[in-house]
Amino acid sequence: MVWTTTGDLVTTEQILPPDPHLMESMRAVGYTLQTAVADLIDNSISASATMVDIFFGSSPYPYVALVDNGEGMSSGEAIDAMRLAGTSPLTKRNPNDLGRFGLGLKTASLSQCRDLVVVSKHEGALCGFEWNIDHMIAQQTWSLLVLAGDELKSLPRFNELADRTSGTLVIWRNLDRLTATVGDLSSSFDAAMTEVRSHLALVFHRFLAGEHGQRFEIRINRVAIQGSDPYLESNKATQLGPSESFSVAGEQIEVQPYTLPHLNRMTPLEKKRAQVAGRVRDSQGFYIYRELRLVIWGTWFRIAPKDDLGKLARVRVDIPNTLDHLWSLDIKKASAAPPPQIRDNLRRIAGRIVAPSRSVHLYRGRIVQEQSRTNPIWNVIDDRGNFRYEINRENPAVAALTDRMMPEDMTQMSTLLTLLESTFPVEDAYNRLGQDESHSPQQPSGPGLESLASALWKAYKASGGNPEQFVSAMASIEPFILTSSPKELLRKVVND
Ligand SMILES: Nc1ncnc2c1ncn2[C@@H]1O[C@H](COP(=O)(O)OP(=O)(O)OP(=O)(O)O)[C@@H](O)[C@H]1O
Ligand SMILES: [Mg+2]
């Protein structure tokens, strides 16, 4: 404000650029090593790369480097790329462009290191630039270092780029954040790489499967990453629900529901793959893709509770980058809340989708109960909000033994049965099943079952029963129903 000669107060301007410490503050945006690396790969995909090589190295100093074979940047483009918000967030992006804010390259990189080098090759010409936080702070200005000649050649993995016709090399040096979280880099790089590998396998699984119509490969220290499909589509027992699409602000959103196979029908590897966000149960929900890139997963956005019965339900949602403004996307693109128009549609779809997951989950329990309704070995007793399991004294296998007992043995037997019932490790079972462990009980052995069957047959015959009635009655109850061919076993006993 200044006073004019007439005594009026008027507004003037003062240019107030940010202090270079801004870069230091921006490190706290909240990237992890894996989300930061993923942000660089977004850029490679936007630059039409078909191959991204990531290196974790320790010579001549610890570094992380990423080289792609994308279009690369001219010197002018690379300077724009180094500028914070060099592209406006409001610019319309190409459909394959995974960027939005013009920040990722800088903020993701400098969240992990204090020294970022970018070298690019475009139409045969090389250029290199460096943001070094300590240099900026020492100079008290936003001074971008321009690299040339031998400086470029001495950079780790420079040859990887020099050998390609075009592409970009990003190098992180002075890895202070990584040292702080994983300690000594030379020994902890492996653990860090494993986490990065599984994160990239998931978030880029559709690119790795070539769904964008191109070959695409990511390697870490030359080992290729296999995509990790969270719907286990290669398992025949995965069920696809009806796909649908709806339109929001003139753009199409595609929805594909899946119901995963029951846990007992997953291989150990598949189970691990299905445990995207902790346990399988925690990984239910929507999987939101922005231009095929997974950004959010394993949440129902508080539209529906994550109850145990929907644990096999996953819904793939494809959203174009033209709807970014509706999603209040954050800089890391890792959190976003669906706007009301999308939320209402997702709520409608969620209700319909959880139903099949629920029936897969209950299937096994119900079958056993229905087929052995006449006389299961265990009865579940509901008692006004409480429940307990009781051994069914009427089940022939139990009755065959107890019927022949002397009264004093009977008392002991009854005590034993009550003891078994009261100590049934129900909480342990609950915890284990909740931790995605599968229950695989030992089945009763052949000879034991045969002698039980023949004792039952003797008693049945003595009371005037006929063989076929016996076979069909016994074949449908526990324990015989639990064997693979109950009728065969029973007929053998009857014919002996
Ligand atoms: N590997 C690369 N190959 C070619 N160009 C790149 C590469 N990485 C970055 N760029 C260029 O630099 C620009 C800035 O990248 P940066 O990641 O900072 O922002 P963005 O991708 O535009 O948006 P966002 O902040 O959402 O990631 C990109 O728009 C792109 O033009
Ligand atoms: Mg980017």
pLDDT in tens, 173-216: 999 988 777 677 667 788 889 999 999 999 999 999 999 999 99
For residue 313, the SS3 value is strand
Query: Could you check whether the bond before residue 60 is cis, i.e. omega within 30 degrees of 0?
Result: yes
Q: What is the pLDDT of residue 368?
A: 37
Residue nearest atom 14 in ligand 1 by C-alpha distance = 81
Q: Mean pLDDT check: name the lowest of 397-401, 411-415, 467-471.
A: 397-401
Query: Could you check whether the bond before residue 17 is cis, i.e. omega within 30 degrees of 0?
Result: no
Pocket test for ligand 1, best of 35, 45, 46, 52 (most atoms within 8 A of CB): 46
Is pLDDT of 329 > 80?
Answer: no
Torsion of CA 376, 382, 383, 386, to 10 degrees: 120
CA proximity to 37, closest of 171, 181, 210: 171
What is the rounded CA–CA span in Å between residue 118 and residue 146?
10
Residue nearest atom 1 in ligand 1 by C-alpha distance = 44
Greater confidence, 104 or 2? 104
pTM: 0.78
Per DSSP, the residues of 379-439 read EEEEETTEEEEEE-TTSHHHHHHHTT--HHHHHHHHHHHHHHHHH--HHHHHHHHHTTPPP
pLDDT class of 362 with cuts at 50, 70, 90: low
For the chain, how are helix, strand and coil distributed in percent, rounded to 5?
Answer: 45, 20, 40
For residue 127, the SS3 value is strand
Residue nearest atom 19 in ligand 1 by C-alpha distance = 102
Is pLDDT of 429 > 70?
Answer: yes
Dist. CA 129 → ligand 1 center (Å): 14
* Ligand that comes closest to the CA of residue 331: 1
**47 Cβ closer than 6 Å to some ligand 1 atom:** yes
CA proximity to 87, closest of 63, 104, 68: 104
pLDDT class of 156 with cuts at 50, 70, 90: very high
Q: What is the pLDDT of residue 449?
A: 86
**105 Cβ closer than 6 Å to some ligand 1 atom:** yes
pLDDT digits (tens, 9 = 90+) for 77-91: 999 999 998 777 777
Is pLDDT of 356 > 80?
Answer: no
Q: What is the pLDDT of residue 372?
A: 43
pLDDT class of 359 with cuts at 50, 70, 90: low
Helix ranges restricted to H, 166-303: 176-182, 185-203, 205-208, 268-274
Length of the chain: 496
Q: What residues does 64 pair with on adjacent strands?
A: 56, 172
Which atom of ligand 1 is nearest the CA belonging to 106?
A: 18
What is the rounded CA–CA span in Å between residue 421 and residue 389?
6
pLDDT digits (tens, 9 = 90+) for 292-326: 999 999 998 888 777 766 889 999 999 999 988 88
**Number of neighbours of residue 11 by Cβ within 10 angstroms:** 6
What's the whole-number mean pLDDT along residues 391-406? 80
Dist. CA 107 → ligand 2 center (Å): 9
Dist. CA 104 → ligand 2 center (Å): 4
What is the rounded CA–CA span in Å between residue 161 and residue 66?
10
Helix 486-495 to helix 467-475 angle, to the nearest 10 degrees? 150
Q: Mean pLDDT check: name the lowest of 394-403, 411-420, 485-494.
A: 394-403
**102 Cβ closer than 6 Å to some ligand 1 atom:** yes
What is the rounded CA–CA span in Å between residue 463 and residue 304?
57
Dist. CA 247 → ligand 1 center (Å): 29
What's the whole-number mean pLDDT along residues 46-53? 97
Q: What is the pLDDT of residue 495?
A: 87
pLDDT digits (tens, 9 = 90+) for 240-271: 988 999 999 999 999 999 999 988 889 999 99
* Percent of the residues in the chain that have a pLDDT greater than 90, as a whole number: 47
**101 Cβ closer than 6 Å to some ligand 1 atom:** yes
What is the Cα 491 distance to its own chain's centre?
50
Residue nearest atom 11 in ligand 1 by C-alpha distance = 81
Which atom of ligand 1 is nearest the CA belonging to 97?
A: 21
Burial class (CB in 10 A: 0-12, 13-18, 19+), 428: exposed
CA proximity to 226, closest of 202, 242, 246, 249: 202
300-325 as b/e: b if 16+ CB within 10 A:
bbebbebeebbbbbbbbbbbbbebbe
What phi and psi, each to the nearest 5 degrees, are found at residue 462?
Answer: -60, -30
The sign of the torsion formed by the CA atoms of 17, 22, 26, 28 equals negative
Distances 198 to 125, 194, 296, 318, 434 between C-alpha atoms, Å: 35, 6, 15, 22, 23
Is pLDDT of 224 > 80?
Answer: yes
Q: What is the pLDDT of residue 380?
A: 81
Is pLDDT of 349 > 90?
Answer: no
pLDDT class of 340 with cuts at 50, 70, 90: confident
Dist. CA 84 → ligand 1 center (Å): 10
Helix or strand holding residue 115 (H, E): strand 115-122
* Ligand that comes closest to the CA of residue 49: 1
For residue 171, the SS3 value is strand
For residue 136, the SS3 value is helix
* Ligand that comes closest to the CA of residue 333: 1
Residue nearest atom 13 in ligand 1 by C-alpha distance = 81
Helix or strand holding residue 339 (H, E): none
Residue recorded with tokens 């099949």: 356
Q: What is the pLDDT of residue 369?
A: 45
Q: What is the pLDDT of residue 436?
A: 84
**167 Cβ closer than 6 Å to some ligand 1 atom:** no
Dist. CA 111 → ligand 2 center (Å): 14
CB-CB contact of 132 with 113 (8 Å): no
Q: Please, what is the average pLDDT of the chain?
A: 87
Q: Which two tokens stand for residue 37?
A: 């690396």
Dist. CA 237 → ligand 1 center (Å): 41
What is the rounded CA–CA span in Å between residue 190 and residue 105?
24
Q: What is the pLDDT of residue 341?
A: 86
pLDDT class of 8 with cuts at 50, 70, 90: confident
Dist. CA 311 → ligand 2 center (Å): 34
What is the rounded CA–CA span in Å between residue 230 and residue 253?
20
pLDDT class of 385 with cuts at 50, 70, 90: low
Per DSSP, the residues of 53-113 read EEEEE-SSS-EEEEEE-S----HHHHHHHHSTT-S-TTSPPPTT----SS-HHHHHHHHH-
Pocket test for ligand 1, best of 31, 35, 37, 43 (most atoms within 8 A of CB): 43
For residue 245, the SS3 value is strand
pLDDT class of 367 with cuts at 50, 70, 90: very low
**Number of neighbours of residue 284 by Cβ within 10 angstroms:** 30
What is the rounded CA–CA span in Å between residue 45 and residue 207?
9
Q: What is the pLDDT of residue 371?
A: 41
Residue nearest atom 27 in ligand 1 by C-alpha distance = 104
Q: Mean pLDDT check: name the lowest of 24-38, 42-56, 335-349, 381-395.
A: 381-395
Dist. CA 68 → ligand 2 center (Å): 14
**104 Cβ closer than 6 Å to some ligand 1 atom:** yes
